[in-house]
Chain A
Amino acid sequence: MSGFHVLTLLTVLPLAGAAIALWSGKHARGVALITTLSSLALALFVWTQLPANGSIGLVEQAKWAPSLGIEYHLGVDGLGALMLVLSAIVTLMSVDAAHRVHHQPGLYFGLVLALEAGLFGSFTALNFFHWFLFWELCLIPAFFLIKLWGGARRGPAATQFFIYTMAGSAVLLVAFLAVFLSTGSMDFPHLTLLASTGELEQMVTAHLGPQVMLWLAIGVLAGFAVKVPMIPFHTWLPAAYAEAPSPVTMLLTGAMSKMGVYGLLRIAIPLFGAQIAQIRTPLLVLAVATVVMGAWAAAAQKDLKRVFAYLSVNHLGYCLLGIFALAVPVAVGDTGALASQAAALNGVILQMFNHGVTAAALFWFVAMMQQRTGGHRGIDDFGGLRKPAPVLAGLMGIALFSSLGLPGLNGFPGEFLIFRGVFPLAWVAATVSILGLLVTAAVILTVIQKVFWGPVPEHCVGFPDLHHGERLALAPVIGLMFLVGLLPQLIVDSVNPTVQNLLAHWRF
C-alpha cells in the first residue's frame, strides 16, 4: 500500500466534503450523503485490508516536528478499523435522519462532516499530537451543532458539554506533556512498548518523582471518563443528548462516546496498565455504578431522549466493566484467566460497535416521532402507536429489544462475552451489574407499554406510519442488527486477532 495514503484520504474526504457543503446551501444534504457514503465505502475497504495477525496496518509515517516528538503517524488494527466503520455508519445514519434542516443547512452539514473527519482522524492517529488535535476537532463542531440547532435549553447544555469535555482534555494534555517530558516521545506504539517493559514508569519516576505515574494514570482516566462517560463524570450527558437535535445526538452517542472507550484501550490501558490494576477496585465500583445507576436513572426519566441517554450510560458501563475487570496481572501460562481477558475484550469491542448502531437507531426513531408531532418526545405524549403506525412500532421494537440484549439481535453477543470474561475475573462486580440487565429490561418494556401499547389517545389517531423512504433507509440498519446478532463472528473475525495482539502487549 506504499504511496497510497488511504487513511489520510479517509480523513481528508469528509473535510473536503465539509468545505463543499459550506458553500452549497440547499444542496448541502446531498453533498453530505455522497460524502458519507463514499467514506463508508472507504472505511469498509480499510476494514478488509487489515493484517491477519491483528497488528497495526496501513501505516503512514512522516516526520513533522521531530524535536517536539511530533510525527505524522497513522495506522489501524481491528479495533481502529471497526471504529472507522462504525463512525461512517453512524454519520451516514445521522445525515439520513436530518431531513429538515431549514436553518443554514450548508453550515449544519459542513459541521457534521467536520465531526466525521475528527472521528476518523482520532481513530487512526498513533501520535499524541495529532490524535489530540482531532480529539479537539470533534468537540468544536459538536458544540456548535448543539448550540445553534438544539432545543429550548441548548445554551447551558452546550456550554456544560464544552466545559466538561474541555476540562477532561486539559487533564489529558497535562498528563501527556508529563509523559513527553520524561520520554521525549508522543508515539503510541513506542510508549506502549516502553510501558510493557516497565521502562515508562521508571522514566517518569526518574524525571518527575515517585507516585507521579499513578496521578498521570488518574488524569488520563478522568479525561476519558468524561467522554465515555463514567459516573460521576456524566452529568453533562443527559442535558447534551436531550438538547442536541436528534441527528446530532446520534453522532454523540453512536460515535463520539466510543472515542472515550477507544482512548482507554489505545492509550490508558497500554500506558498505565499497571497503575490501573493498582486502583482496579475503586474503578470497578464506578463501572458497576455506571451500569446499575445509569439503568435506574433511566427508569425515572419522562423524556424519551433522556431515557435513551441514560440507557447509553448503562450500556457503555458494560464496556468499562469489561475493561477494568481485565486489568489484572495474569501469571504466565494461566490460560483460564487469559481466556477470560480475551472474552471480555472481544465483548467490549463488540459492545462498542453494537451500542453505536443501536443507540443511533433509537435516537433516529425519536427524531421521526418528533417530526410527526411537532417535537413531542415525552413517554406520556404517546400511546397505542402500534395501531396507527405498525411499521414504526415493529422496527423500533426491534431496536429496543436489541438494546435490551435479546439473543438473536446484536446487543446480546457483546454483553454475553463481557459477562463471560468478567465473571471469573471479578465475580462480585459481574453479579451486581447483571442487575443492570433486569432494570434495563424494565425500562425498555415500560417505554414499549406506554408508547406503543394501550388505547390510542385522540391526538395519536392520525399518527402517520413510516413512509417508503424511511423504511428503505432503516432496513439496512435493522438488517445489521440481525446480522451481527446471528453471526457475530463476522466482526470478531477481525477483532479477535487484535485482541490477542493487544493483550500480548499490555502489562498490568
Chain B
Amino acid sequence: MHLKKLHLLTILMLLVNYLSAQQNFVISGHISDAATGEDLPGASIVVEGSVTSGTATNSYGFYSLTLPSGTYRVRFQYVGYEPQSIQIELQGNRKIDIELGEKTFELGNILVTGERADRNITSVEMGNVKLAPKQIEKIPVIFGEQDILKTIQLTPGIKSAGEGNSGFYVRGGGIDQNLILLDEAPIYNASHLLGFFSIFNSEAIRDANLLKGSIPAEYGGRASSVFDIKMKEGNLKEFGVAGSVGLISSNIALEGPFEKDRGSFIVSARRTYADMFLAFSNKEELKNTSLYFYDLNLKSNYKINENNRIYLSGYFGRDNFGFNNEFGFDWGNLTGTLRWNHNFSEKLFSNTSFILSKYSYDVNILGDVEITIGSQINDINLKQDFTWYVNPLNMMKFGGNVIYHNILPGKISASENSGVNPETISKRKAIEWAGYVSNEQQISDKLKIYYGLRLALFSNVGPGEFYQFGENGQLSETKKIDDFQFVKTQGGLEPRLGINYMINTKNSVKASYNRIYQFLHLLSNSTTTTPTDLWLPSSNNVKPQIADQVSAGYFRNFNDNEFESSLEVYYKDLKNQIDYRNGAELVFNSTVEAELVFGRGWAYGAEFFFKRNFGRLNGWVSYTWSRTMRQFDDINNGNAYPARQDRIHDLSLVGMFDITKKLNFSATWVYYTGNAVTFPGGKYVIDGQTVGYYTERNGYRMPSYHRLDLALTWQRKKTEKFESSWNFSVYNAYGRENAYFIQFRQNEDNPEITEAVQFAIFKAIPSVSYKFKF
C-alpha cells in the first residue's frame, strides 16, 4: 500500500517533469543564521531580473527552486540580515546551503516580520500576523513579563479576553476557537495564574504566526484562527546562556551544539515567585500558601545527513496553588513532538511528526480526610506533510493527520472516612482524521492563486457511554460501547481558497474563503479561561461547529517597504455554536450534553493596519471596527444579541523610539468599546434578598476601556561575550480605573437602596526586569 503510493508519486513527478519540455534543474538547500546555525523560515530566494522566479524557505528553512538551464544571479535574503547574491551556472541540480549574517544597525530597530520586506504584498496569504519575541521585546508589558499572547492582542482583529488576560478572541470567534500550537502540539489551556500569564516563555520562543484570514489547508480543527508557535532550536555553533530576572518571574535558557553544525539543544526554564512574598507574612496560613507556576521547554535537533534531520521538542508546565496544607490545586500542559524532515528529492520535502499533548488538573483536599478531583485530556497525534515544488509556478502541499483524543471528564477519589463517594465519569474517546491537498499557483506576473481542500472527520469511539436525551433534556437511553467500536462519524470537506492580484510591486488586492470544522468545544462557566474548563467532543448530541469566512483586503507599501499598510474586511458565519442553559452543571457531569443549547453566530468587520518597519521611531497603528452576534433559540427569547466580545471599536497604538543607541523608549495605548454585558431592567425581593430582573442578554455596554503603557529599555555595555539590558515599565501609566466588573447590589448600610458598583483591578503597575546573555 505504502509502496504503491510512493510509486504513484514518482510517476506523477516524472510526468510533470516530462511536461515541462525545456531542460529544467533544481536549486535546493537550507538557509540558516550564520551565528547560530538555526533555520531561517520564510527567507526569500530571488532570481535577479525576474519578477515571478523566486521562492521562500518553508518552516524548516528548506527551499527548492526550479529553473531552466542557464546562468543566474540569485539573491538570498531575510529581513534584518545581510543579503547574499550568488552567480549560479545551472547545468544540473544544485544543492546550495546559505548562511546569512545579521545586520548591525547604528540606530533603529527592525520591526519586520523576518521575511522579505514586501511579503505582505506578494504572498497570497492574508490576515496573518507574525511575531518574534526579539522584535517585540521593547514593547511595555504588565509585570515586566514578555508575553506573545498579549502582544498579539495589539494587532487588528484580535481582542483581549479581559484586563491583563492572555486569552483572546479572533474575528468574533470564541476563546476555544483558536488552535494554539507549540511545535505542532495543540495546547488546551494556554494560561497560567488564571490568565494573567500565558504558558509561552518568550525566552524559549523563536516566532509565532497567527492566521486569522486565509488559513492554509494543512491546518484545521479550530474555527477561527491558528496560532502557530515555534520554539527556538538551539545554537549549532556555540554555547550560550540567556535569561532574565523580573519582579514576578525569572527565566534562564541554555543552548549549544552537542555536535557542531549538526546537532544542538536548548533548555529553558521559568518560574514565578509571587508567593515568596507571602513567606514574610505574619499570618501563619499565608506563610504556608503557595501560588506559582513554572515552565520547562526543551528542544534538540540533529542533522543525520543532508536529506534527513530530526527534531525533538517538549514542554512541561504547571501551576500550583496550595493553602495551608489543607487544599491543593495544580494544573498544566505537557507536550512532546518528534519530527523527521526528509527530502525525497530536491523537489519533494517531507515532514513526519509524532505528537503527544496532555492537559490535566487536580484538586486535592488534604488533612484527616483526603479527596482528589481530577480531569485530563490526552492526545496522540500522527501527522504527515509533504511539500512538492512542482515547478517554478506551482507549489503543492499534501498530507494527513490522525489524532486520538482520550478525555477523562472527571474522577473523584476519596478516602474511606471522607464522606464522599468515589466516582469516575466515563471517558470520552474519539479519533480526528484529516487529509488535505493544496496548490499555490502563479498564473501570471500579477496573479497568484491558492486552492486547497481538506477533509476533516471526527469519530467517537468506544469504550465509553453514549447518551440519548428526550425532548426536555432528560436521559432516555444510555448505551455502553465496546473498545474501538465506532459510534458516530461527522465532518466534511473544507475548501480553502485565496487569490492575490498584484497591481504593482507596491499594491495588491487579495481575497480568500475558508471553511473549518471544529470538533472539540470548551465548556466554561466563566467569561475567561479557568483551569477547570472542560473540552467536550462532538458526539451524537453535539454537532461540530462550522465556520465559513470570506475576506478581502488591499495591501500597500510605501517608501521602499519602510511603511506597510493594509485594509481587510471579513464576514464570518458560525454554525452549531454552543452555550448552556442557566444553572448548568458543567463540571463533573456525565450528561453535560443535556445542559447545552445550540445556536449560530456571525461576525463582520474591517481592520486597518499601518506600520513603520524601521527607523528611529517605529511601531504601528491598528484599528478594528467589528460586530459579533449570536442567536440561540433558547437564549434572549430567540432574538439575536451581541456576543460578549462585540467591541465595536478597537484601537492600538504601538511606538518605539531610540533615544540613543542604548536607550529605547516605548509606549502603547489601547482603546476599545466596552464588552457587551447583561444589566437588570428591574428588581424584586425574594426571601428577603433583592435581586435584579433580567430581560435582555448583553443589552448594555461596559464603559470603554483605555490604557497607556510605557517602557524604557536600557542596553548595558555590549561585548562579544556578554550583553545585558534593564527594562523599566509602567502598566496603565495614567491609572485609568477600567471597569473589570460591574455589580448590582443592595447598599450595605441601607438595603432599600440598590446601586451599581464598578470594580477595577489594576491601577498603575510599575515593574522592572533585567535581561542578560552570554
Is B one of A's binding partners?
A: no
